[in-house]
Amino acid sequence: MPAIEHLRPRPSGHRSGRDRAPGFLGRMRQRRAQRDYEASVLTFAYTLKGEFRDACEYLRVCHYVSVAAGITVRTPRVGEVRVGPPISFTVELMPGQEPEDFRKPGRRMAHTLGAHGLRIEPLAGRWVRLVLLEADPLAEHFGLPPVTAGSGTETVLLGRTEDRTTLGHAIADPAHLAVQGMNGSGKSAFVYGLLAQLCAAPDVLVAGSDITGLLLGRVWDDTAHREWQVVGTHDLEAHAALLEQLVAEMDRRLATIPRREDKITPTVTVPTVLVVLEEFPGLLRAAGAVPKPKSGKSLAERIVSAQLRLLSEGRKAAFRVLTLAQRFEATAVGGGYARDQFALRLSFRVPADSLAMLHGDDARPFGQEHANADPGIAYLSGLGRDCERIRVPHLGDYGEYVDRIQSYGRRAES
């Protein structure tokens, strides 16, 4: 129960026949009940303001002011309080504050007030409304609509935030994607939905390496994408050869960038190439077991070298890399430089240190809770947003993924 929930005023919805009866005594009882309710609203608002001030001071959402007597603390002023449900109140931002300043400590502030989360709604001027969420807004699943992108410049659905903002991303935008998560956390299911939205776009080519054979592979048979995909571990040389072929295509594009331009503009004939690297650490481990030739690079070195080229130079040539791993340790994904190239990052259920490893120290306070997150819940950073929880759309079972790729996947020109 919320810390202040027991104080929330609740006007009675039932009145006895005596209270409804006309006359002097009936009117007096109604007025007394109204006065009692109004007094309870004031008590509730006073208590909430005090709890909010204490939370702001502890979480340092405040100003420290030096006065003659020492240090005094200024906290944001609370205006209107609504008893709800849901409980909400307006807050006047102090000089230098932004609405986003409440987002990072929002969950801890909400827990202080006994709620699950906090939704921030900017109002006019320096005022915001803070809404206390009594239940996890991401607990409810939502399905992926049966739509596909008509172009790589169109946004595809990534997920929904705790304040019910829908996040989208255009694959043509210059950002590589990193996705990590433990087995069963929803990592692969999320990418199923992402690729199902992109498979029909005439200016997108889905290429890549998949040692599992589930994400890419037979599901893409008879589509224009299939010849640019390698699956399984029976021929590890083919994975290296494909990545080197993609690097060669990238170099060809870079050499043909028009004068007075600094990047390739994707078209149907020169599509955005999405290079999917499913379970990339597993590919490197398998390649590392292959004996190194007497001359030249080892198989693992060739794969890492090609990946680094695509990550560092691919943006200008309309190449985007999507790498999946259970943990984004630097040694597992080709080094710290490779990990730093991902502008859009999603973490499904992972150990606490893995969350900070990919998203930075700002994500560390969320690590313990996220280590037990439900499937389909992820932390996202990028798109100009700080690290925040999202619920990704649910495509369905694997058969639905197969059906969508087979139904909508772009066919090769005859």
Do 121 and 162 lie in a common domain?
no
Residue position matching structure tokens 């589930």: 214
Tally the domains of the chain: 2
List the binding residues: 181-188
List the binding residues for ATP: 181-188
pLDDT value of residue 1: 40
* H helix or E strand, kind and range, residue 31: helix 24-58
Residue 210 belongs to some domain of the structure? yes
Beta-carbon contacts of residue 345 (< 8 Å; ≥ 6 apart): 177, 178, 179, 358, 359, 380, 381, 382
Do 199 and 336 lie in a common domain?
yes
Kindly list the strands in the beta sheet with 204-210, ordered across the sheet, starting from the edge strand earlier in the chain: 166-170, 155-161, 385-391, 377-382, 342-347, 176-180, 319-325, 272-278, 204-210, 229-231
Contact 310, 244 (CB under 8 A): no
Residue 66: both structure tokens together: 């030096």
The one-character DSSP state at 73 is: E
Contact 104, 362 (CB under 8 A): yes
Residue 368: both structure tokens together: 């313990």
Do 121 and 238 lie in a common domain?
no
pLDDT value of residue 11: 63
Do 213 and 323 lie in a common domain?
yes
Q: How many Å apart are CA 392 and CA 142, to the nearest integer?
A: 8
Mean pLDDT by 10 residues, the chain (414 residues): 57 53 76 84 89 91 86 90 88 90 85 86 89 85 90 95 88 95 94 96 97 93 95 96 98 94 93 97 94 91 96 96 94 90 95 91 83 93 84 93 95 75
| Residue 185, burial from CB neighbour count under 10 angstroms (0-12, 13-18, 19+) | buried
Q: How many Å apart are CA 239 and CA 220, to the nearest integer?
A: 17
Do 175 and 273 lie in a common domain?
yes
The CB density around residue 390, as the number of other CB atoms within 10 Å, is 21
pLDDT value of residue 406: 95
Residue 211 belongs to some domain of the structure? yes
Do 61 and 161 lie in a common domain?
no
Residue 119 belongs to some domain of the structure? yes
Do 364 and 241 lie in a common domain?
yes
Domain that holds residue 173: 155-408
